[in-house]
Structure 1
Amino acid sequence: MDLSDVHQALRGRGFKLERSTPLPIYSGTLSAGKTSVRVRLYIQDKTLVSLPWIQLLGRPENFPKACAHISSDGFLCYIGRDQAYLPRDRLGAGVLGCLALAEKLIIKIIDNKTLEDTRDEFPVYWDGLDVLLDIPFSIKPGLHKNACIVELPKTDNREEIIWILGEDNSSFAERYKPWGAKDLFSNVLLRIVDIKSPLGALPLNWPPRNLKFLSLWLASIDNDARNGVLESIKDAFRAKSNNVFILVRAINTSCAIFLDLKLVRKLLKSSSPDRFMRAVIKAHAVNVQVTRLTPIPSDPESWINRNLIGDRTNLSGKNIALIGCGAVGGFLSDLLAKQGAGFLGGRLVLIDHDRLSVGNLGRHYLGFGQVGEFKANALERELAGKYPEINLSSSTTRLRETSSIKHYDLIIDATGNQGLSQFLSEIKISTGLPPIIYSWVSGAGCGAQAYLMDGDTNACLHCLDHATPGSSFSLMRVGYELNYKHLGSCGEWLVPFSVPAAIHAAGLAAELAVAWAGGKPNPTLRSILIDYDAGKVVKPISPKKRALCPICNTKP
């Protein structure tokens, strides 16, 4: 490929060609405010599908200790992978644009404005073995004597082993056995150290491979971090342990270290923890191997909140009953769990008396392996196999009265059964029930809707009249024909609709549930139109009860 345009552009920028084969390398100077920085530019491939690499030739003195977007060998991450591409008709200008981005990044680094970015980037420089932390962030710093670690071994589909660290809990290892976890360490010493300085990579002796360089690195960042390591060595002496696990929580990110003290414990015959620690640091620090670990929070609170934006809340701590585990309810059950239902003191109950049939397979969350099983039971087992610690149960009893669901915080009706839904609506008005979210597919997949009924002024389902084509809140136009299959038979009749329709209905209900939990449920009626030929748009709205509604007016 002709790279003359790139060559001319770089020469015009004052860059010199250092090497032309096998791939071109240039060197030159970037200007970042009052700072001039020598760099090297690498063309990764002659097609220029990939952006060029840019490497600092020396670390400027005014760079802060903790820097994001710069590797230990000086390569700049001036833009995320695959976030941009070079314009094919102006490759030279595109490469100059990369240099401009690098200059902006250097200015940002010098101004110490990349601290927040180091949280996600530090693990790349740390280059540690992943360890999942199934412990709450609220756990206090200090020594924890009875932590435990289980290991997920390599498999055909998992290239690396994974460690999982948990608190002292007899059921911890048992919880992860369905995924092939094995006990690795029990009653392991865990010292948690909190520091007020940011963690960052160093230009030399990085990443640390033994206790000597680990100690030097931590001392350059925060003495509390180094002191935490020293205390952990004394912890091991007191407990007569060969291993100790250290978790350092900084203001920007975290790192973890596993120290193997077996060799020095054999070599040293110290009489006190302090003498043992000083002897290790003074004469044997290079002999203590450091296993670097990248802590990844995997406790429910962490992964539930990870995808929340701003002040959005989740469903943890709530007691939720999901009635109906069919096409909509199956997908909805998984969405509810992902949003916190059944965690952190909450409970999720699945209610459905129906069994999964072959006819359900085309649009259900469950698959062929669960045919013949109760849908609620199969979903309970499926979710329990995906989410450790979920508080989940199922019921296969047909719902004929409401006393069993009155104590929940939220009821979700995903049955699509008009008779049951209308019954629940009437009971809520007459004798009272918790807030109810109804979720359904309109017609034969014309669209999907979800509605929250809560409060004395909300419309009931009779007010809503969503099943009548042409009505205000119906997605179906006047004259919409609802086609059934096998309606005249005693067998399994059905209303045909697409899988996306069920997923849309589940998604609307899940969003409405989170909005309810956050105290901002409006609009309470939410709709998605799928069939634009036979349907009509229903705008988001919070419908009020009709003055002449015969159901609403029966309330004593």
Structure 2
Amino acid sequence: MGRALQKQMSLYDIISGINDNFCNWRYTKGRRPSSANSRDKSMYDGWFTSFETKDNTNFQILIQVEDWDFVSLPNVYVKAPLPDYIQNLLPLAHFSIDKREYKGDWYYSVCYSLHDAYELKISDPLGVLGWVLDKTKIIIEALIKNKRHRSDEFLRELTPIWQSIASYHSSNLIKSNDAAVQSIHDLLLPVIYDLKQGWHLVPWIVKDGHIEANTLIIHIPSKQLAKIPSMPSVFIDVKSSKGIPLKYFLLWLKQWSHVAFRLIVSEIASNIERHRETTLYFPVCLVVDKQLLSLCIELENLKELVSGSASKHLKLANHSKLLSNSKVVFSSAVNLTPNFLFTRNLDNLEQPNLIGKNIALLGCGAIGGYLGLSLARLGAGASGGKLTLIDSDIFQEENIGRHALGKAYLHRMKASALKQEIAQQIPDLNIEVHNINACNRSILKNISNYDLIIDATAKIEASETINKFFFDSDGKTPPLIHSWIRGNGECVQALYNDKDTNYACRSCINKSGNSIREEYDALKGMTAARSFMACADFTPFAVSASMSAAALTIDMILDWLQGDVSPRYRTRYTEKWMGEKIESKDYAPSLECHICKIN
């Protein structure tokens, strides 16, 4: 029996079970509640129900099931209008900003569970639906009865609430025929690359990538986050659908941060004075911790408030009408600052990153391509640091099958191409390129300038040269990590070198022109298959080997950042390798090594 047919046949049983177990539930079938003309014409199963809070407030609920596998939870909507004392609390965490229409009635959608924070027995539809209603009741009861909880949830959901209001404004601005309002709509997707402490002006990058105006960035200490008052209901009033009256926004902001309030008022006046004939809007971004709260202030109606240098401050009481007619439009900023991009996934792990460090990547081939992109994602080249890419090879057709780059970079220098690809994915990094051989003395003589050197050439001849220069260098040298692929990808390996410690170096593993020494050999008795082209040969391996080698190296770099790189000689096998395996550990140097034993 097909799964769809099975569900169709069992729906009757589900409805019967609900009638038996939930006496006040009433079945309905219809489209998803929508605040506008929706393109989704699908019909979904749903139930009307209700519940009462402890103070006897009644809530009418619509539960709608779009996915009977429950990979996506059922949607919950609360019927409007809400009781006055709750309506006046909006916008609230977990409640949508706008109402959605369903069969002639209006509803607010309610978020009652984190997407990844539930464990349900999905084979029990009645249990799931009962759990959904119970969670909704708990959420609503806590929000309306516990002021502290309501405040905590508002702060936790501040960015989603702000973005919901921004979407509400955007959808209404699109319909506007007002040129000034339309010009504000054009600024609704700022991209912020740099945030300094205090306040400053930076370019405001908009949707199509060009700079429209300077934005006032105000950095508010995270300790002031708890001082943010709840947003007044006028922020989501129908009359504010095309922007919030500036007067109400400034009054709200003043309760939270006098510094931000004074800066905005002062800069509005200065902005009009500087650009009296052209300025229609003034962009602002409030930064609290890693949250960006961006907005545009419409200035056309404010110009008569500022007459010459004598008027540098806007008085709320004296200009109430004009301030009410001027609008503030919330926008959803794109946060591309290093503090957000490179710490978001590591902060809770107490894991340092590469922000501010100077990293050299020698070799931008199969391993180096994936390494370069990964290093950038760890912050290499950000906030005063530098990522240096070094490779003399040209990206050819035969490289595409196992490289991070694609056909757009054919016949380009690999290092330059990799820099461009990184810049397209992660902007505003300091990346330096040298399209020369990684063994060039002009490169190697400057190794002391780096915090870490990564050898991804994956050729023993090049690695041996780099290793020799590393040990022959006078003075302090940074750590050196070698990364390579063995056989036809049966395993990948990485080795950490530090001259201050007495462990095996790359030349201990094997000397160019010689077999790998037995105690270090990860693939004993294995002979790799080779392929031949005109005047060249190569070792074939799948792209998984390139990615695995890069991943192994990144793991070692993360351990280096933590201050503990042991084991220094690491091997990661594929599941298909059935031969003898060596252990990843700190290996002693070889007595026959012609590099580290001499030094």
2:401 partner letter = G
Cα deviation code 1:314-370 (max 9, x no counterpart): 112222221111111112111112212222222222222222232222212233343
Deviation at 1:147, TM superposition (A): 3.7
CA distance in 2, matches of 1:550, 1:327: 29
1:408-487 paired onto structure 2 within 5 Å: 408-431=450-473, 433-454=477-498, 455-464=500-509, 471-476=518-523, 478-486=524-532
Deviation at 1:39, TM superposition (A): 2.8
CA distance in 2, matches of 1:292, 1:232: 18
| 2:350 corresponding residue in structure 1 | 311
Cα deviation code 1:286-306 (max 9, x no counterpart): 311222123332223321222
Distance 1:35 1:295, change over 3 A: farther
CA distance in 1, matches of 2:269, 2:127: 59
2:522 partner letter = L
1:417 partner letter = K
| 2:160 corresponding residue in structure 1 | 121
SS in 1 for 2:342: helix
1:44 partner letter = Q
1:377-396 paired onto structure 2 within 5 Å: 377-396=416-435
Asked whether 1:206 is paired with 2:236, we answer yes
1:127-526 paired onto structure 2 within 5 Å: 127-128=166-167, 129-136=188-195, 138-141=196-199, 144=200, 146-153=201-208, 181-186=209-214, 195-196=224-225, 197-198=227-228, 200-203=230-233, 205-206=235-236, 208=240, 209=243, 210-215=245-250, 217-218=252-253, 229-236=264-271, 239=274, 241=276, 242=279, 243-250=281-288, 253-266=291-304, 272-273=310-311, 276-278=314-316, 281-309=319-347, 310-398=349-437, 399-401=439-441, 402-431=444-473, 433-454=477-498, 455-464=500-509, 471-476=518-523, 478-486=524-532, 491-526=535-570
Cα deviation code 1:114-167 (max 9, x no counterpart): 35632453334332533222221x3304xx4x54323232xxxxxxxxxxxxxx
CA distance in 2, matches of 1:40, 1:353: 69
Greater CA drift, 66-75 or 399-408: 66-75
1:375 partner letter = K
Q: Does structure 1 retain, via aligned residues, the 8 Å contact 2:368–2:550?
A: yes
Greater CA drift, 332-341 or 465-474: 465-474
SS in 2 for 1:44: strand
What value does the CA root-mean-square deviation take over the aligned residues? 3.8
CA distance in 2, matches of 1:7, 1:202: 44
Cα deviation code 1:55-99 (max 9, x no counterpart): 274487799888532334653311245876975642222111112
Deviation at 1:383, TM superposition (A): 2.9
CA distance in 2, matches of 1:148, 1:53: 41
SS in 1 for 2:295: strand
Cα deviation code 1:375-395 (max 9, x no counterpart): 223223333444433222222
| 1:171 corresponding residue in structure 2 | none
Cα deviation code 1:170-192 (max 9, x no counterpart): xxxxxxxxxxx223125x66666
Structure with more helix by fraction: 2
CA distance in 2, matches of 1:192, 1:425: 46
| 1:158 corresponding residue in structure 2 | none
CA distance in 2, matches of 1:547, 1:287: 83
Q: Does structure 1 retain, via aligned residues, the 8 Å contact 2:229–2:255?
A: no
Using structure 1 for the length normalisation, give the TM-score.
0.79
Out of 78, 82, 87, the residue aligned to residue 55 of structure 1 is: 78
SS in 2 for 1:126: helix
Q: Does structure 1 retain, via aligned residues, the 8 Å contact 2:91–2:233?
A: no
CA distance in 2, matches of 1:216, 1:15: 45
Q: Does structure 2 retain, via aligned residues, the 8 Å contact 1:6–1:95?
A: no
CA distance in 2, matches of 1:251, 1:403: 41
| 1:177 corresponding residue in structure 2 | none
Greater CA drift, 373-382 or 89-98: 373-382
SS in 2 for 1:349: strand
CA distance in 2, matches of 1:59, 1:341: 53
User: Unaligned regions of 5+ residues in structure 1, if any?
Assistant: 154-180
CA distance in 2, matches of 1:547, 1:228: 69
CA distance in 2, matches of 1:47, 1:344: 45
User: Unaligned regions of 5+ residues in structure 2, if any?
Assistant: 1-7, 31-44, 100-107, 168-187
Distance 1:189 1:428, change over 3 A: closer
| 2:63 corresponding residue in structure 1 | 43
Deviation at 1:430, TM superposition (A): 4.2
1:185 partner letter = A
Q: Does structure 2 retain, via aligned residues, the 8 Å contact 1:354–1:374?
A: yes
CA distance in 2, matches of 1:117, 1:475: 50
Distance 1:526 1:15, change over 3 A: farther
Asked whether 1:93 is paired with 2:127, we answer yes
Q: Kindly, what percent of the aligned residue pairs are identical? A: 22
Q: Does structure 1 retain, via aligned residues, the 8 Å contact 2:89–2:233?
A: no
CA distance in 2, matches of 1:10, 1:59: 32
Distance 1:535 1:332, change over 3 A: farther
